[in-house]
Amino acid sequence: MNTELPEDPQRRRLRERLEVIQIRTDKASSWRDAVRPLRFLLNREGFVPIKTRLASTDLDFLEASRDDLLAFSELSLRLIDLHQPRDAGGITSDTAHPILRCRSCMWRWPCPTFRAITEAFSIGHDMGS
């Protein structure tokens, strides 16, 4: 028997918006390899005149990518502001390495939210040793 609560409409809309961004981005061509040689063609005004073939999926991505990336970076910055470590207090035998908990969700640090963000951006966690 499924005992899960029905998904909150706001959460469902957010999930749908994020899935649209994910699919649109995945369908677009990667510019990583194409950009490298173009850097050598920058003119004095700081521009590279290019001719390229863009698929409709690329246009979909380019049309929305700036807004999407601004939204993602804003979201990520807000999340890492919310999810920060704090001293959990209590008695510990290791005063140099006190137990830390997330001040927002109270999980032991690093909390699942912070770990998900660092994994998404491939940022390793330094335990400060």
Chain residues that interact with Zn ion, rule: CB under 5 A: 83, 102, 104-105, 111, 113
CB of 105 to Zn ion, least distance (A): 4
Q: Which is nearer to Zn ion, 21 or 111 (CB)?
A: 111
- Tell me which amino acid residue 110 is: P
Nearer to Zn ion, 54 or 105 (CB): 105
In this complex, which beta carbon is closest to Zn ion, that of residue 9 or of residue 128? 128
Distance CA 48, CA 129 (A): 46
Query: Residue 111 CB, nearest distance to Zn ion (Å)?
Result: 3
Distance of closest approach, residue 107 Cβ to Zn ion, in angstroms = 6
End-to-end alpha carbon distance in the chain: 47
Q: Does residue 69 contact residue 75 with C-beta atoms inside 8 Å? A: no
CA–CA distance, 57 with 64 (Å, rounded to integer):
11
